[in-house]
Amino acid sequence: MELNDLAIFGGNPAFEKPRSTSNLTRPDKELFLKYIEQDYKNGNLSCDSPIIEQLEKRLAKLHGAKYCVTVCNGLWGLVLTINELRIKGKTEIIMPSLTYRRMGDIAAWLNLIPHFCDVDLNTLAFTPEAAEKGINENTALLLVLHPIVNICDIDGMIKLAEKYQLPLLFDSVESTYAVYNGQPIGSFGNAECFSVHASKFLNGFEGGYITTNDSSLARRLRAARDYGIDENGRCLTLGIDGRLISPHAAMTMACLDGVEDQVKKNKKNFYKYKVLLEDIEGMELVEYSEKERRSYKNILVKLNEKWPLTRDETLKILQEENMVVRPYYYPPLHLKPTVYKTIRGHLKNTEQLMEKYMLLPSGEFVDEKDIELIVDYIKYLRTNYKEISNTLRKQAAVN
């Protein structure tokens, strides 16, 4: 490869079709059609389909939870659940800053103030110690999001919530399928929220769900997704038009059927990256715990002191090759402009970490050959960084 072969310097991109960092699962078409066939025949293409109940049963089982309530998407699932769980009259939600970009908005939709906290320098996880620093007399709820690879100290978070008598909600979108100390994710805290957006582990085109062991919460959430009205026509709570529709449930069912194959593929890809990245100085693969079940959905790498280009340069060069690499949760929420009030201090670890991590292509449409090619490019960048930086600088000067 020559310098001019890089797409950023005028060469052809490595991939004609972009390789994404999203999961983008495409389940067996026949299975999907089988699941919607009954509804299609009955002319039942809205929310009152038996398939919704079947899906909720299956998801509850997967997560080891008593109840599952499906909703139109992950964001509104979180809003409705926080609304049910929050301590009324209190104003703040505790959450990490280095996390999913919409979390602050979710609090703002409820007129609550997101109180951003730090994460751990080594694991990227929100820790009980960091959460405790944010807790005060205004705290309405503790919202714990897991990092993209591996899981927070759930036991520690449960203890913390008990100590301060706070409701505890997990956003476990990135930990679907994982197990913690022998117990599936989805069965912890007051409730856990998930998404089945096309980019997530389970693809339902769009949608979400909440798992809980609390029957009263499940009842209120069922009402909340249906304008606040329960099955007897009584107004139970504040609601929205937030039900999942049956074609989305059918798609999610088809994905559930293929889950084990999907994890096998993800795992194979992960180990392919692991072997190939091993001797690249400056790039460290963030590894999954081998002890318990994981989905291996995301390929996250750290660019350490020995990596000779900035993350932005690295991202830009690879993106030009149609490798849709992405920065890890950037910018962190406490550095983002918002139209609503937030509580944001100086978060030392988050700021130290925020420009060091990136996601590499993964999922159904990435195979081992693709990974070889991706790592070849990474190797080329590592070896030829001097020329690359110089040429980038010259290019910038001309523009």
Ligand X SMILES: *Cc1c(COP(=O)(O)O)cnc(C)c1O
Q: How far is the CB of 40 from ligand X (least distance, A)?
A: 25
Q: How far is the CB of 185 from ligand X (least distance, A)?
A: 12
100 binds ligand X (CB under 6 A): yes
Nearer to ligand X, 100 or 307 (CB): 100
Closest by Cα among 288, 308, 310 to 358: 310
Residue with tokens 């499940």: 218
Nearer to ligand X, 98 or 378 (CB): 98
Residue with tokens 């790039």: 283
195 binds ligand X (CB under 6 A): yes
Report the residue from 39, 56, 118, 171 that binds ligand X according to the rule CB under 6 A: 171
Applying the rule CB under 6 A, the residues between 129 and 158 that interact with ligand X are 145
Question: Amino acid identity of 309?
Answer: L
Closest CB to ligand X: residue number:
74
What is the rounded distance in angstroms from the CA atom of residue 49 to the CA atom of residue 270?
38
Count CA atoms closer than 13 A to 126's CA, side-chain side: 27
For 29, residues 6+ apart whose C-beta sits below 8 A from its C-beta are none
Exposed, middle or buried, 90 (CB in 10 Å: 0-12/13-18/19+)? middle
Bridge partner residues of 71 (DSSP): 208
Nearer to ligand X, 74 or 258 (CB): 74
CA angle 74, 186, 47 (to 5 degrees): 45
Nearer to ligand X, 174 or 370 (CB): 174
Nearer to ligand X, 77 or 308 (CB): 77
Rounded-to-5 percentages of helix, strand, coil across the chain: 40, 15, 45
**Are 44 and 246 within 8 A, CB to CB?**
yes
What is the rounded distance in angstroms from the CA atom of residue 251 to the CA atom of residue 27?
8
Q: How far is the CB of 228 from ligand X (least distance, A)?
A: 20
User: Which region among 67-75, 209-217, 221-229, 259-267 touches ligand X (by CB under 6 A)?
Assistant: 67-75
Nearer to ligand X, 103 or 353 (CB): 103
Report the residue from 7, 68, 69, 75 that binds ligand X according to the rule CB under 6 A: 75
Q: How many residues does the chain have?
A: 399
Q: How far is the CB of 380 from ligand X (least distance, A)?
A: 32
25 binds ligand X (CB under 6 A): no
Q: How far is the CB of 3 from ligand X (least distance, A)?
A: 37
73 binds ligand X (CB under 6 A): yes
Applying the rule CB under 6 A, the residues between 243 and 302 that interact with ligand X are none
Q: How far is the CB of 208 from ligand X (least distance, A)?
A: 5
- State both tokens at 261: 């194959």
User: Which region among 68-76, 149-157, 231-239, 390-398 touches ligand X (by CB under 6 A)?
Assistant: 68-76
174 binds ligand X (CB under 6 A): yes
- State both tokens at 155: 């036991």
Report the residue from 173, 249, 280, 371 that binds ligand X according to the rule CB under 6 A: 173
Bridge partner residues of 194 (DSSP): 209
225 binds ligand X (CB under 6 A): no
Closest by Cα among 149, 156, 154, 181 to 292: 181
Could you count the other beta carbons within 10 Å of the beta carbon of residue 138? Answer: 15
User: Which region among 24-32, 170-178, 260-268, 331-339 touches ligand X (by CB under 6 A)?
Assistant: 170-178
Positions that interact with ligand X (CB under 6 A): 73-75, 100, 145, 171, 173-174, 195, 197, 208
